[in-house]
Amino acid sequence: MTSTTESESADPGHRTVLLRGGEVHSPAGPFATAMVVERGHVAWVGSEGAADAFAGGVDEVVDLRGALVAPAFTDAHVHTTVTGLALTGLDLSAARTLPEALAAVRAYAAGRPGDRVLLGHGWDASRWPEGRPPSRTELDEAAGGRPLYLPRIDVHSAVATTALLDLVPGVTALDGFHPGAPLTGAAHHAVRAAAHAAVTPARRAEAQRAALAHAASQGIGTVHECGGPEISDEEDFTALLALAGREPGPRVVGYWAEAVTGAKDADRVRELGALGAAGDLFADGSLGSRTACLHQPYADGPGTGVAHLDAAAVAAHVTACTEAGLQAGFHAIGDAALTAVTEGVRRAAETVGLARIRAARHRVEHAEMLTPRTIAAFAEFGLTASVQPAFDAAWGGEDGMYAQRLGAERARTLNPFAALLRAGVPLAFGSDSPVTPLDPWGSVRAAAFHRTPEHRISVRAAFTAHTRGGWRATGRDDAGVLVPGAPADYAVWRTGELLVQAPDDRVARWSTDPRSGTPGLPDLAPGAELPVCLRTVVGGRTVFVRPNE
């Protein structure tokens, strides 16, 4: 990919750029090979021959050399600072055994002698042959007696050293503290707050920049930051929005997960810079930590998880947000939690009216353990399902964590993307990074080749959910697609032959017949090489260029 520049002095966002000689994924021209960007928006999409008319009047001409230009991805659920800390710190997601994880802790502690508190992420004991998390005694030895905080990969439980627990007076009396077991609930939140308090503003900004730069390198133009008082803190949230606003990089749309009871609370959410009181407002926990709220007990342990909100609390939040013109949302994974959320939204609709509920585009994060009844409720109330296909790739299947926790029969019902689409439920795809990596093409593949075949959707539908779907989840219908007038958020990809999916209710048939009139997409079949990002552009400004391209 090469470019010829006429003028370097113009504001990068206001420059006029002609991209040509590639493939442009646009419903405005299914055979388009060229695109003009002007003042941060798409100005024209068309054929190579027609591009000649623009070549003399632009600031820059980009020769795509056959590359694919497609809308930039939107990741609809990210925890940016923690993602950056994982990228630049101790990440245990690749550890294959407990001893391997402890060895990584020792090496990390030795390499960070000046850190007051050591931070890590990503262990998953369900993948280890030992089948258990590290004990406090083992962590104390590996960390050399220093404070260490290690959340599980789902971030709903954690292990910590004695030195860190000593920094939290009264932690042993808090809900969720059990000797010899990972921290959950209030105990986990208190220990996490103590650990994150040790992160300096400079270290936090370093982590945020690292996360946003990595997102840009993956063709991501927008991330939805899911913050809240039980996840991070206001300073972290506002600092991220400020950094994203003044430095080139992906757009950041903020959601603040705090209950709203009236106009005063809604005003405070807006003052923080949040689009909505949504994201990880917890109705329950996670399956991996056995804190997702279920109707029936777990298959591999006692209890039915933890309910943080009941239908009445959901109704109060949704009603207050709707009346304030604010988007509401919840984290809900287990079937009982999703029942509580949909019942609460139904009660809110009885108060403020169904039309206002639908117009508000409230959203639910994760929405894994849906039933036909709750899917129908999502469709009735216009709820967006903000979902993570990589969860199924990581934990689905007959032998995966879902089957361990729930049994094979219930596990097969999880993440029913096809049923959601058939019901008309809007989908927005994300990663929940750092729970799963920022990897949008991998997420599209995971949805198209779901481990449970009846839940698979087409590559085209999955791609739409990861591009336009994220914009629609924020109330924008004019973005996430390359048509004249849309924001110039796009990525350039090196990829193999583009394919057009043939009609199939499940997923897996392909066609290269150009008569379909449908823009092609890369071959994402298992084993095929995923596209490589060459350039990412947000609002007409280049925020990533692959080195040596």
pLDDT in tens, 153-162: 888 889 999 9
Backbone torsion region of residue 155, taken as left when φ is above 0, otherwise alpha when ψ lies between -120 and 50, otherwise beta: left
Is pLDDT above 90 for 456?
A: yes
* Residue 95 · residue 130 · CB < 8 Å: no
Indicate the Cα dihedral angle 318, 322, 328, 332, nearest 10°: 30
List CB contacts of 251: < 8 A, sequence separation 6 or more: 221, 222, 223, 244, 489, 538, 539
> What is the C-alpha separation between 255 and 241, in angstroms, rounded?
11
CA 390/CA 172 separation, integer angstroms: 35
Cα–Cα distance, 21 to 145 (Å, whole number): 59
Cis peptide before 522 (omega within 30 of 0): no
What distance in Å separates the CA atoms of residue 317 and residue 333, rounded to the nearest whole number?
A: 18
Q: 82: part of which helix (H) or strand (E)? A: helix 80-88
CA 243 to chain centre: 19
Distance, in Å, from the CA atom of 86 to the CA atom of 194, rounded to the nearest integer, reads: 18
Mean pLDDT, residues 363-389:
98
Whether the predicted pLDDT of 504 surpasses 50: no
Do you know the residue count of the chain? Answer: 549
Closest CA to 375 of 332, 315, 424, 333: 424
Question: pLDDT above 70 covers what percent of the chain?
Answer: 95
Q: What is the pLDDT of residue 326?
A: 97
pLDDT at 515: 43
* CA neighbor of 491 nearest in space, from 294, 250, 211: 250
Q: Which parts of 291-334 fold into alpha helices (H)?
A: 311-323
Q: Which ranges of 247-365 does DSSP label H, i.e. alpha helix?
A: 263-271, 311-323, 335-352, 354-360
The pTM score is 0.91
Residue 12 is predicted with a pLDDT of 63
Residue 242 has pLDDT above 90, yes or no: yes
Q: Give 309-346 pLDDT, tens digit per residue.
A: 999 999 999 999 999 999 999 999 999 999 999 999 99
What are phi and psi for residue 4, nearest 5 degrees? Answer: -120, 125
For the segment 133-152, the average pLDDT, to the nearest whole number, is 94
Residue 481 has pLDDT above 80, yes or no: yes
pLDDT tens-digit readout, 379-409:
999 999 999 999 999 999 999 999 999 999 9
